[in-house]
Amino acid sequence: MLYEIAEYFGFPGVLNLFRYLSFRTGAATATALFLGLIIGPRFIGWLRVRQGKGQPIRLDGPQSHLAKRGTPTMGGLMILTSLAVAVLLWMDLANPFVWACLFVTLGFAAIGFLDDYDKVRKASTAGVSGRVRLLLEFFIAGVASWIIIRQTGTMLYVPFFSGVAIDLGPFYIVFAAFTIVAFGNAVNLTDGLDGLATMPVIIASVALMLIVYMVGNAKFAAYLGIPHVLGAGDLALFCGAIVGAGLAFLWYNAPPAAVFMGDTGSLALGGALGAIAVSSHHEIVLAIIGGLFVVEALSVIIQVFWYKRTGKRIFRMAPIHHHFEQLGWAEATVVIRFWIIAFVLALAGLSTLKLR
């Protein structure tokens, strides 16, 4: 919005700063951060009053989690409020990539909100059925993928090789939608301990911020041998808003958490990461940068598959962060070590920009 106002007046004086994506990215990050910190206490108090008993805790989960009873959920609303305000305030309103990613983020947030609301209302860990959730997620992801494809085409670029790409044709929209839905649910599965999902999302967003900036710049893209996507650079602003909103939320989500993100936040943030990766043609690289989320999701898939086939479990509990809790690791130990893994994987993903 502010970009259009500055453009209308011809970017005079200090408003010339609005021309620069780096300035608007920093401004969006700061806006989301400070807005999140300001609304946090009132938001948490409102959620606590509205929800009463807070998020239901699984009885078959780690017994240490029973102490978290009464903690309000749906804290993702706080993230989304500061994120949406920051993005709309500083974005170029004519950029289709930002609108597509915002559509996925808010759409997935609505699905997560319905799930969280159903759980709180019924005082049960069972919310909206998985089939309904997936149908809604694929519909939203499909629409967003169609918007993105109209700007970028249907090529799937392979990392580590310069200029190597596979034209998936009409199948690309299925692949793109799957990427968005898969990452939405992977982050959702990771959100099981205080701060566990938030910091890896922030780390992945910083990595993607650098990638989309390079992809959106023709000179940098040509030098690195990566695809150039005109307009994708504005997604750096979106990534910055995720970082700011995530840091503000982590201030209140740090152990012991005053609020849980809930499916409202985790599903939305995961979907946003997927949509950003699709927009920048870095879907495969996202699997490296967000490798922690991939491992968490695979641990659940493997556990369920193996149990149905043999009646035995590979992990003591899934997702895998609970496995380490059952091995005797303290919750804070699991969280911090997983943060370190997320950081290393983000660096590995960024290294693909030069290893061509």
The length of the chain, given as a count of residues: 356
Residue 214 CB contacts under 8 Å (≥ 6 apart), including other chains: 220, 221, 224, 226, 353
Tell me, what DSSP letter sits at residue 257? P
At what angle are helices 262-279 and 171-190 packed, to 10 degrees? Answer: 140
Each of the 356 residues of the chain gets a pLDDT tens digit; together they read 898 999 888 988 888 999 999 999 999 999 999 999 999 999 999 888 887 665 555 555 555 555 566 688 889 999 999 999 999 999 999 999 999 999 999 999 999 999 988 888 776 666 788 899 999 999 999 999 999 999 999 999 999 887 789 999 999 999 999 999 999 999 999 998 889 999 999 999 999 999 999 999 999 999 998 999 999 999 999 999 999 999 999 999 887 888 999 999 999 999 999 999 999 999 999 999 999 999 999 999 999 999 999 999 999 999 999 999 999 999 999 999 999 999 999 999 999 998 86
Three-state SS sequence of 266-307: HHHHHHHHHHHHHHCCCHHHHHHHCHHHHHHHHHHHHHHHHH
**Entry pTM:** 0.93
Q: How many Å separate Cα 233 from the centre of its chain? A: 18
